Chains A and B, each alone.
Chain A
Amino acid sequence: MNKQTTRIGKNRLVAAATGAAIALGATSASAETLRVVMQSGLRITDPIMTTAFITRDHGYMIYDTLLGVDSDFNVRPQMADWEVSEDEKTYTFTLRDGLAWHDGAPVTAEDCVASIKRWADIDSTAKPLMTMVDNIEVVDDKSFKVQLNTPTTLLLAGLSKMSSRAPFMMPKRIAETPASESIDEYVGSGPFVFVEEEFQPGIKVAYEKFEEYVPRDEPPSWTAGGKDVKVDRVEWLTMPDQMTAINALQSGEVDFIQQVPFDLLPLVENASDIDVNILDPLGAWTYFRMNWLHSPFDNKLVRQAAIAAVDQEDVMQALVGNPEYYRTCAAIMGCGNVNGDEYGKEWVVEGQIEKAKSLLEEAGYDDTPVVIMAPTDLAMVVPQPIVIGDALRKAGFNVQMKMMDWQTLAAQQGNQDAPSEGGWNIFSTYSILATSGDPFGNTPLSTDGRESWAGWPDVPEISELRLDYAKAASVEEQKEIAKRIQKIAIDEGVVGPLGQFRIPAAWSSEWSGFLESPITLFWNISKED
């Protein structure tokens, strides 16, 4: 506790040292400020420690990444370019000119190596990658070398990873903080500076343009290309009531809403001074997970029966309603993603109660209760358990709904006890497709039994295929492996896909330049005169 209290004091000093000069100019009355309502409040400020989306978005504001991904899924240089040896085992990364931290110090290769190591300690993509890395060594101030023991595409994929736990670069002194402890300074080299003295957790975050930032020359495309900031300041405001956010947009008190709830869309869709559009072209997918450790889902046929019983259209109707914003999809790695394959579509998408009944009969299901954890407070995950429960009852399952708040569910999902002793059989959640398109970023495809993510499926064949995927020489080879993973995962009942959806954003027509990207980006935006 005392340590953390000290930390705050230090934060203030750093903020004063790093932000004062910029703050003086940018907070003047003439400053162009973009006022934004984000999907939730920023409370955790370390983008390596947590996977919270709001913290990821915060990360992209103040930090930069070595590599980026463009809209064609190509890995592109961002802070650094790279060269690879003929045997494809040695990658040399060279930092571009003009990179500086918000405190004025130059970005060095040493900083980047420390940042990669901290990220590698905790990230799910980095862990398998590090088994293929022999050494990361600093060559000089501007370059470093990664020595692999086997060629892998995972290195570039990992360093350009979008979404949660992107490998954000930090000064060495900050990156040396253990990954299990929150960082205590917020100095990045990204296009915005975090105004720490104005930070109110869960209420307001302010960022000011980093005047020394040198954007790349290429046009922006997802996390690649030039990050050309055209505003002086961005303020993220948290509004717990979505109706208030819509009213504030209509009255001109805010300029942008990151996610407009589907039921409130009619209020802004026809307004002449408000633009509504999908900025994340991929969106999210929702799915349900079964607990492999306990009856009845320790039986493959029962898992298949559950997947067959649920009708994706029913789930999507309950969750989204408007077909313009959802689609059914059997691909675990996402329809629209390079690796998206729809094996099993004929019985995964459309609910097949009769098939489910016969599978249950074949499995000898003995009426063991199925405990479904159902959250009551997070709109994006409330309808799924209700629809799943109804479908399972129709198929002949003995269903018990266990209502709770989302945070209780998040804590409970790690409980490996039997459902009769406080454990669970089914829960549902959602993930963004930008991170689900490969077998490493896709959390449910971790199949190492009790060591894997909640549900604890034990399918060694998938674990081996994931490693093969990392070592694959070409995209075509990767696609082939992904296809095999999809088949095994569906047949084994690793996860039950429930459909995909995209959440629209809305903004005042006075503003333009919002970029299409899986991450909400705040560069390139300007106010029209």
Chain B
Amino acid sequence: MLPYVLKRVLSAVPVMIIVAVVIFALLRLTPGDPAAILAGNDATGEQLAQIRESLGLDEPILVQLATWCKNIISGDLGVSLLSGVPVTKMIADRVGPTLALAVGTISVTILVAIPMGIVAAGRLGGYLDRIVMALSVLGFSVPIFVTGYVLIYFFSLKLGWLPVQGYRPPSEGLFPFLQRLVLPVLALSGVYIALVARITRSSIIEVLGEDYIRTARAKGATGRRILLRHALRNAAVPIVTIIGIGIASLITGVVVTESVFNLPGLGRLVVEAVLARDYPVIQGLILLFSFTYILINLVVDILYTVFDPRIRY
């Protein structure tokens, strides 16, 4: 196992280099000019040229790429072209809300969706199954911003139980931290609960048709034991896969939730950086996201071996 993990971690290096170079090139090919954003609407060509020079954007692209790569090797992701703040600081400031949202959402999803899927599979065709399926269709269909606004309307504006927006780090107190996380986690987890519940249900149904389940039944095992000990474990591979994809997309793509609840997370940072053509910030974020994807895939692959000992690397 260890050589496999090492091999996977090492193979991440060329992947990240390729991603870095492709993103660097794509950004330079995309229309847009950070100097124009800095200088404003009425800047003359001469002023733009001076700003480009001061930012180092007048250098040939290959020179810029070489400088960037050299800085990355020394752990320097550069500074934002607009604010002058180091990219590492910007990412560090923004990673907290995103991680909190991702961990909260995945925790709620696992706690709710897997039992829902098991119950639905165990009562295949019954009322519980239909209710679970109906809820999952609802979870898929209602956009997150609608769920978010409805939750805000009832829990914040009508009942006054929870704040409308914002983020407080745990260092400022656990209660204010959790208080501001409840609604975004509830709004966002709806989609993931629907997804994981359906996958859990269908995987278990598929496993329930296997010979070894029939054997377990013939041995007199109870329905609950069959579901939890035999079916769930063997159905775990697709469930773990989908949860892994969920975590990755949570870290990289929760712009709507972050906007509706005003969470200063990485999703918003990506959009802001792209719209402002803030190259160093975009490049730093893409590198981080690539690394996260690779890491999550590795963890998922390792978990396969835990749930299914037949899988060997």
Residues of A near any B CB (own CB < 8 A): 1-2, 4-5, 7-8, 41, 43-45, 49-52, 122, 124, 164, 178-182, 184, 199-204, 237, 239-241, 243-244, 247-248, 250-251, 253, 377, 404-408, 410-412, 414, 429, 431, 443, 446, 451, 453
**Is the pair A201, B260 in contact by a Cβ cutoff of 8 Å?**
no
**Is the pair A253, B163 in contact by a Cβ cutoff of 8 Å?**
yes
| 25 A-B pairs with C-beta separation under 8 A | A1-B56, A1-B67, A1-B71, A1-B78, A5-B86, A8-B84, A45-B83, A51-B43, A122-B47, A180-B47, A182-B54, A201-B90, A239-B262, A241-B260, A244-B259, A248-B166, A251-B164, A253-B164, A253-B166, A411-B33, A411-B36, A411-B37, A414-B45, A429-B41, A446-B42
Contacts of B269 in A (CB 8 A): 202
Q: A201-B82, A253-B166 are in contact. Are A51 and B39 (CB under 8 A)?
A: yes
**Is the pair B42, A443 in contact by a Cβ cutoff of 8 Å?**
yes
Tally the A-B contacts, defined by beta carbons under 8 Å.
151
Contact of B251 with A by CB under 8 A: no
Considering the chains assembled together, what is the distance between the CA atoms of A1 and B79 in angstroms?
A: 7
Interface string of B82-98 (1 = CB under 8 A from A): 11111001100100000
Closest to B79 in A: A4
Of B41, B42, B262, the contact of A248 (CB 8 Å cutoff): B262
Contact of B104 with A by CB under 8 A: no
B269-313 interface (Cβ within 8 A of A): 269, 272, 275-277, 280
Contacts of A443 in B (CB 8 A): 41-42
Interface string of B30-44 (1 = CB under 8 A from A): 011100111111111
Contacts of B152 in A (CB 8 A): 244, 247
**Is the pair A239, B42 in contact by a Cβ cutoff of 8 Å?**
no
Considering the chains assembled together, what is the distance between the CA atoms of A411 and B261 in angstroms?
A: 31
Considering the chains assembled together, what is the distance between the CA atoms of A404 and B36 in angstroms?
A: 16
Considering the chains assembled together, what is the distance between the CA atoms of A377 and B149 in angstroms?
A: 22
Contact of B50 with A by CB under 8 A: yes
Contact of B80 with A by CB under 8 A: yes
Considering the chains assembled together, what is the distance between the CA atoms of A247 and B48 in angstroms?
A: 40
> DSSP class of A's interface residues: helix, strand, loop or mixed?
loop
Contact of B165 with A by CB under 8 A: yes
**Is the pair B262, A241 in contact by a Cβ cutoff of 8 Å?**
yes
Considering the chains assembled together, what is the distance between the CA atoms of A52 and B83 in angstroms?
A: 13
Considering the chains assembled together, what is the distance between the CA atoms of A453 and B76 in angstroms?
A: 38
Considering the chains assembled together, what is the distance between the CA atoms of A122 and B43 in angstroms?
A: 9
**Is the pair A411, B76 in contact by a Cβ cutoff of 8 Å?**
no
Of A5, A180, A407, the contact of B50 (CB 8 Å cutoff): A180
**Is the pair A405, B260 in contact by a Cβ cutoff of 8 Å?**
no
Closest to A11 in B: B84
For the complex of A and B, the 8 pairs showing the least CB-CB separation, nearest first, are A51-B40, A180-B50, A201-B83, A411-B33, A4-B79, A43-B82, A203-B264, A443-B42
Considering the chains assembled together, what is the distance between the CA atoms of A406 and B32 in angstroms?
A: 9
**Is the pair B54, A181 in contact by a Cβ cutoff of 8 Å?**
yes
Of A43, A181, A446, the contact of B276 (CB 8 Å cutoff): A43
Closest to B163 in A: A253
Shortest Cβ distance from A155 into chain B, in angstroms?
21
